[in-house]
Chains A and B, each alone.
Chain A
Amino acid sequence: KQEVTQIPAALSVPEGENLVLNCSFTDSAIYNLQWFRQDPGKGLTSLLLIQSSQREQTSGRLNASLDKSSGRSTLYIAASQPGDSATYLCASQAGGSQGNLIFGKGTKLSVKP
């Protein structure tokens, strides 16, 4: 059974700092991995999706990487801003499934001005 873990659970950084959020998964036979942002009491906003055949995806200041063999993905945020403060979730989709996602518990990021 796939387990997704995110470390650290919380992270506080000063504005402008580059940072890395970590996601690990136990079953390397994933179909894809998706990163989300969740603001308090709100829904999930999709940030990036990496297919199993890809090693990384970029969107603006965000870069996500995937290493299936080691069961790890990272989300790199460049030049962090207070508006980046939110909880970041990673979720894996198993191969052969109908797309149901298995989520980590998230990393709560706080960017201080």
Chain B
Amino acid sequence: EPEVTQTPSHQVTQMGQEVILRCVPISNHLYFYWYRQILGQKVEFLVSFYNNEISEKSEIFDDQFSVERPDGSNFTLKIRSTKLEDSAMYFCAGRGQALLEQYFGPGTRLTVT
């Protein structure tokens, strides 16, 4: 059964550094999402991406964040200058055109020191 994959599983970085989190969605999915979950808190929507552009973003998704799908397979989330409060689990998700169900990846745990 196809799965969403994410790399790395754990990333440790210093404050102010840039990080890129990578996701490989299921091949026939068309809508892509990033969510994050700070330890002990709710899963929060960051951004949705369709037809090679951002379709919606939350207040969390400020100028420090960007997404792209450069090669039609990988879907990346970049944080330009990480802050301590960016420490969280980041989940990639996707769905097909007709499917409403979102399928999530295993997550990348980002630790900013």
A residues sitting closer than 8 Å to B (CB atoms) are 31-32, 34, 36, 41-46, 49, 51, 89, 91, 93, 97-106
What 13 new A-B contacts, CB under 8 Å, besides A43-B107, A100-B56, A104-B42? A34-B100, A34-B102, A41-B109, A43-B106, A49-B100, A99-B95, A99-B102, A100-B45, A101-B43, A101-B102, A102-B45, A103-B44, A106-B42
A46 touches B101 (CB 8 A): yes
B43 touches A91 (CB 8 A): yes
Contact of A100 among B48, B103, B109 (CB under 8 A): B48
Kindly report which residue of chain B lies nearest to residue A48, judged by CB atoms: B101
B65 on interface, CB distance cutoff 8 Å: no
How long is the Cα–Cα vector from A42 to B55 in the complex, in angstroms? 27
Across-interface contacts of B25 in A (CB, < 8 A): none
List which B28-84 residues lie within 8 A (CB) of chain A.
Answer: 31, 33, 35, 41-45, 48, 50, 55-56, 58
Kindly report which residue of chain A lies nearest to residue B9, judged by CB atoms: A41
How long is the Cα–Cα vector from A93 to B101 in the complex, in angstroms? 10
Interface residues on chain B, size class: 20 to 34
Given the interface pairs A99-B33, A99-B95, the reply to whether A44 lies near B104 with Cβ below 8 Å is yes
How long is the Cα–Cα vector from A31 to B101 in the complex, in angstroms? 12
Across-interface contacts of A45 in B (CB, < 8 A): 104
Pick 27 A–B contacts, CB within 8 A, sort by A: A31-B100, A32-B100, A42-B106, A42-B107, A43-B104, A43-B105, A43-B106, A43-B107, A44-B43, A44-B91, A44-B93, A44-B104, A46-B103, A49-B101, A93-B100, A99-B31, A99-B48, A99-B95, A99-B100, A99-B102, A100-B33, A100-B48, A100-B58, A101-B43, A102-B45, A103-B42, A105-B42
Most B Cβ at <10 Å: residue of A34, A45, A101: A101
B48 touches A103 (CB 8 A): no
How long is the Cα–Cα vector from A91 to B31 in the complex, in angstroms? 17
Across-interface contacts of A44 in B (CB, < 8 A): 43, 91, 93, 104
How long is the Cα–Cα vector from A42 to B43 in the complex, in angstroms? 13
How long is the Cα–Cα vector from A34 to B109 in the complex, in angstroms? 24
Most A Cβ at <10 Å: residue of B44, B95, B102, B107: B102
